[in-house]
Amino acid sequence: MKRAITGFHMDRFQEWVADLECGHKLKMRHNPPYMECPWIGIGKGREEHIGDNVECVDCDMPKMPEGLKLTETSPTYDRNHFPDSMATDFATPEGVWGKVVVKEGMLQFVVEPGGNASRGFLLDPLFAGVMAPELPHSLSPAMGDVAFYVEYYSA
């Protein structure tokens, strides 16, 4: 979902982060070809980009309702011990939410693969995936090694 940049700040890693109108944050790193923002280190450059509309992946991720309880935690999976059941059309039962927590590396996470509202995310240790009940999902390792587990929540 496109969101406007309302400002910038530097995080504790000394990297620039854009503040978005939705309250989410986006790390701005000049890293071609993934992200082109050679102006990010320049005050005037940043000023000129306030109001830009950028893609906010946090806004596309389903939101887990508040007040749910953690009921189960899966074992930790990795590239060599990857759960086949999660590779295609994995859905949690009625009333059960899943939180995909990456400990290491990156994981490709698709909500409603093949569907009209299909959307893909790249999960990392700072960005967890959320599985809404009964919705199909697919998980696959992105490049390199990956370690992750799934937490299950219900009311």
Q: Give me the residues that bind Zn ion (CB under 5 A), please.
A: 22, 24, 56, 58-59
Distance in Å, CB of 87 to Zn ion, minimum: 28
Between 59 and 135, CB nearer to Zn ion:
59
Distance in Å, CB of 52 to Zn ion, minimum: 14
Between 20 and 150, CB nearer to Zn ion:
20
Distance in Å, CB of 30 to Zn ion, minimum: 22
Between 52 and 72, CB nearer to Zn ion:
52
DSSP 106-153: -EEEEESTTSTT-EEEEEBTTB-EEE-TT--EEEEE-SS--EEEEEEE
Q: Does a cis peptide bond (omega within 30 degrees of 0) precede residue 133?
A: no
Q: Beta-carbon neighbour count of residue 128 at 10 Å?
A: 20
Between 19 and 58, CB nearer to Zn ion:
58
As a whole number of angstroms, the distance between CA 47 and CA 80 comes to 46
Cα–Cα separations (whole angstroms), residue 131 to 4, 8, 64, 84: 26, 30, 8, 17
Between 61 and 150, CB nearer to Zn ion:
61
Q: Beta-carbon neighbour count of residue 131 at 10 Å?
A: 25
Distance in Å, CB of 130 to Zn ion, minimum: 14
Indicate the helix (H) or strand (E) that contains 46: helix 43-48
Distance in Å, CB of 17 to Zn ion, minimum: 13
